[in-house]
Amino acid sequence: MTVIEYVQGDATAPRGKGVRIIAHVCNDLGGWGKGFVLALSRRWPEPEAAFRRWHRERARNDFGLGAAQFVQVEPYVWVANLVGQRGIRTGRSSGVPVRYEAIDAALGLLADRAAELGASVHMPRIGCGLAGGKWSRVEPLIAERLTARGIPVTVYDFEA
């Protein structure tokens, strides 16, 4: 079984050769404006535009918790918009937006696409920033869905 590799660096600059998929968690409101998505948008406009279109046209597509959208941004780089967050955190009393079951389902779709493309997967600690999740709950999902299938995963801790 492959293990998750942890590195210091920027997940928008995935290391290695071959096809690489940058995965991150999005909310189910169609919002794109805080957190890791800002770094993605500074680098490529396509993931945000595709995500907003996907949400806008949700009555006619698969947008929703547990869904995944794949956007090619360079010849060997893709971005995976994974819907794993219910709403956004507005106040401390409403609980955290992360939905582990949705992240798990979206990771299954990511694994299928990564296998199809022969890709490695690169990500920040998904679901643990603005979504409020715990890495101790997310990491086993990544191990089960991705590394158990032999898909290389690199997790980036951003250098401040």
pLDDT by 10s per residue, the chain, length 160: 678 999 999 999 999 999 999 999 999 999 998 889 999 999 999 999 999 999 999 999 999 999 999 999 999 999 999 999 998 876 665 678 899 999 999 999 999 999 999 999 999 999 998 888 999 999 999 999 999 999 999 999 987 6
Residue 137 in 3-state DSSP?
Answer: helix
Q: Which element (helix H / strand E) includes 73?
A: strand 68-74
Between the CA of residue 57 and those of 51, 52, 54, 66, what are the distances in Å?
10, 9, 5, 17
Coil, helix or strand at residue 142: helix
Q: Is 8 helix (H, G, I), strand (E, B) or coil?
A: strand
Q: Looking at residue 6, what is its pLDDT?
A: 97
Cα angle 66-71-72, degrees, rounded to a multiple of 5: 145
CA 6 to CA 139: how far, in whole Å?
11
SS3 80: strand
pLDDT of residue 31: 92
Q: Are strands 20-27 and 77-85 parallel, antiparallel or unpaired?
A: parallel
What pLDDT is recorded for position 137?
97
Q: What angle do CA 87, 133, 145 make, to 5 degrees?
A: 100
Determine contact, residues 93/131, Cβ cutoff 8 Å: no
> How distant, in Å, are the alpha carbons of 33, 70, 85, 115 from that of 73?
19, 10, 23, 18
What DSSP state is assigned to residue 109?
H
